[in-house]
Amino acid sequence: MPDYDAIVVGGRAAGASTALLLARAGLSVLVLDRGRLGGDTLSTHALMRGAVLQLTRWGVLSSIVGAATPAIRHVTFHYADGIVPVELGASHGVDALYAPRRTVLDPALVAAAASAGAEFGHCSNVVGVRRDGEPVTGVEYRHGSRTEVRTARIVVGADGRRSRIADLVGAGLVAVAANTSAFIYGYWEELEVSGYEWAYGDRAAAGFIPTNDSRTCVFVGADSRRIGRDGPGVVAALTAAASPSMSARLREVAAPARLRTFPGQAGYLRSAWGPGWALVGDAGSWKDPISAHGLTDALRDAELLARALVVHLRDGVPEKDSLGTYQAARNRLALPMLRIADRIATYRWGPDRIRVLLGSLNQCMRDEVGLLAGLDPT
């Protein structure tokens, strides 16, 4: 008999959310993560309406708000031909957005999952999968000096862009993007900002994202050839290219001592499941960060996968039917967003074209919220 109903490899947003929902459904879950609890990671932090709806439904949003994460009720779009402010209206019970640091969001999800009964093994590095013929039946992992084996009815890869599980099970590619953005980002103090601000200018993009500790995540994005080694200089130049008004405010405050660079990676969609395994979060679906939708993707797919696994593991629906339904739903939402983000990542657009692309992205997000809001309560 397997040790667990499910082993989830990766304990951040996607993995912890999947574990939370599986444990609440009465399934036994082990989560293995190679990092320590509460560590930081690459993130744009921004949660869109679908993610806030889910965190509210799961009872986790109160922890995010309690950590003094600012509520976002205004979004400003900066274009080459003008500035467009937008006030967020209430919809599906969501009247504000949030952008928590990963040191806030991930531990909140882990705590909720652990409270529901999921077991966590941090600092545990998965090195192999076990099989019974073709189906995956468990994992081999190292924790300190020990090598251990645990078995499960399903192994979920939630271990990010460089997913070890995806490699080990040979998950195929469904789609690959053609363009990539490179980014520089950091956390500014005392920057004047009232909500999310997104800028799309001369072959460059920029964003201001209010987050915890009275700081603002500032990023600039462009073709990788424009991202050099002079971090502060590149931030200044690309912010000026994206939005002169945002650039002026940025010059009024001191830059942080540390800036981080992401060189870019092409977006992709991998097969979401196979015999005894499934992928969720960046392990299965990744789009250019210019979309600022990665965390919302992670929570959305975690719920879609968890619901599919519950009807398979608890209710006896065949794996090919339940996980096939998960993959179809994920692809229906993720593939259009992947294509739109890929077009934005060309940086070959003027004010009219970028408005069209962002309008298409917004429609995708509306479809996403509609699907999530329509799920049966559990």
Question: Would you kindly state where each structural domain of the chain is located, as residue ranges?
Answer: 4-46+103-177+265-373, 182-262
pLDDT band at 378 (very low <50, low <70, confident <90, very high): low
- pLDDT, one tens digit per residue, over 259-278 is 999 999 999 999 999 999 99
Q: What is the CATH number of domain 4-46+103-177+265-373?
A: 3.50.50.60
Q: Is the separation of the CB atoms in 135 and 275 below 8 Å?
A: yes
The first and second tokens of residue 288, run together, are 């250019």
Task: Judge whether residue 26 has pLDDT over 90.
Answer: yes
pLDDT at 69 over 90: yes
- Over residues 217-263, the pLDDT tens digits come to 999 999 988 887 788 999 999 999 999 999 999 999 999 999 999 99
Element containing residue 209 per DSSP (H, E):
strand 205-210
Assess whether pLDDT exceeds 90 at residue 109. Answer: yes
Task: Report residue 219 as tokens.
Answer: 């990023």
What CATH number does the domain located at 182-262 have?
Answer: 3.30.9.30
Q: What is the rounded average pLDDT for all residues in the chain?
A: 97
pLDDT digits (tens, 9 = 90+) for 164-175: 999 999 999 999
Instruction: Examine domains 4-46+103-177+265-373 and 182-262 and report if their fold is the same.
Output: no
Please name every residue paired with 173 in a beta bridge, in sequence order, or none if there are none. Answer: 270
Residue 278: exposed, middle, or buried by beta-carbon count in 10 A (0-12, 13-18, 19+)? buried
Question: What mean pLDDT do residues 201-217 have?
Answer: 97
Residue 122: CB atoms within 10 A of its CB come to 16
Contact 196, 72 (CB under 8 A): yes
Whether the per-residue pLDDT at 44 is higher than 90: the answer is: no
Q: Classify residue 346 as exposed, middle or buried by CB count within 10 Å of its CB (0-12, 13-18, 19+).
A: middle
pLDDT cut 90: percent of the chain above it: 94
**Count of CB atoms within 10 A of residue 287's CB?**
25
Would you say residue 42 has pLDDT above 90? Answer: no
pLDDT in tens, 275-316: 999 999 999 999 999 999 999 999 999 999 999 999 999 999
